Structure 1
Amino acid sequence: MTLPPQGHHVLLDLYGIEPAPLADLALIEATLTEAARMAGARVLGTQLHPFGPGQGVTGVLLLAESHISIHTWPEHGYAAVDVFMCGDAEAMTAATLIGERLRAGRIEVRECARGLRSEPGRV
């Protein structure tokens, strides 16, 4: 018998985004923070780095439940987002909100259950 997974990992490829939001550090930080809150996660720290005017942003929110990371390419209207949460936090809720707030024209989603376990004593 397989026990519930330790966490859920959602990978997002967001396409068709206007360049300005993808270079806006404050908007990205607010979006990721709101996504974490709406998913029921607790933010422990934030590290975001802008690459300069009109260029992308990279960064991560460290969560008690794991993390949300992002890397943006304004020149391509693209963002790569990684949402990994455990416990009662809802990774898909955070992922959905991020796609909506950045107004992605197309969203590709990949989900993965992490840490699937067998019954104690079984491999």
Structure 2
Amino acid sequence: MLVHLMLELYNIDRGILENEPLLRRVLTEYPDRVGMEKVSPVHLYDIETSNPLDAGMSGFVVIAQSHISLHAWPEYGEVDIDICSCKEFSQEDAIAYAKEIFQTDDVESHFVVRATRSLRPDEPDPARLEAALAARRKKATEVR
């Protein structure tokens, strides 16, 4: 199973949405805030398009369970955040963090359950997990 929380936050101060260190911090902190394991650095891009009104910042961080992304549009006072994960998490905590950091109560949220036929178990089979860990240790030893 895969769960996907989509947030749109409105009426945000332009300065917040143009604050690159703040947006980077959001992507850095979000995994811990929702109980996820961050497995990549934060990727954040200053987006310039053919329409200057669509300019803004877009970024993502890969988590062990999938990803967290955001798209900020200062011109419109809006940020969109997606949290996609095969591990359940508190929607309430995710929304509360977004409202706190972006200083708005104007939030639209959507929650979708996806991959309902996935063969990936909620808990890994202990024998398969041990075999995968042993293979990883062996590979790490061979690389040295």
TM-score, normalised by the number of residues in structure 1? 0.79
1:21 equivalent in structure 2: 16
Choose between structure 1 and 2 for higher RCO, CA contacts under 8 A separated by at least 6 residues.
1
The answer as to whether partners of 2:11 and 2:106 remain within 8 angstroms in 1 is yes
The answer as to whether partners of 2:8 and 2:109 remain within 8 angstroms in 1 is yes
Deviation of the 1:83 alpha carbon: 0.9
The answer as to whether partners of 2:3 and 2:87 remain within 8 angstroms in 1 is no
For 2:58, give the aligned amino acid. Answer: T
Report the RMSD for the aligned CA atoms in angstroms: 2.2
Matched-pair identity in %: 29
Give ranges in structure 2 of 5+ residues lacking alignment.
49-54, 119-144
SS at match of 2:104: coil
Deviation of the 1:91 alpha carbon: 5.6
The separation in 2 between residues aligned to 1:33 and 1:98, in whole angstroms, is 13
The separation in 2 between residues aligned to 1:18 and 1:58, in whole angstroms, is 17
User: Where in structure 1 do 4 or more consecutive aligned residues deviate above 3 Å?
Assistant: none
The separation in 2 between residues aligned to 1:91 and 1:22, in whole angstroms, is 25
1:1-123 maps to which residues of 2 (within 5 A)? 6-45=1-40, 46-51=42-47, 56-88=56-88, 90=89, 92=91, 93-117=93-117
1:3 equivalent in structure 2: none
Q: 1:95 to 1:83 in 2, by over 3 A?
A: farther
Which structure: greater helix fraction? Answer: 2
For 1:18, give the aligned amino acid. Answer: D
2:123 equivalent in structure 1: none
The answer as to whether partners of 1:84 and 1:91 remain within 8 angstroms in 2 is no
Deviation of the 1:30 alpha carbon: 0.9
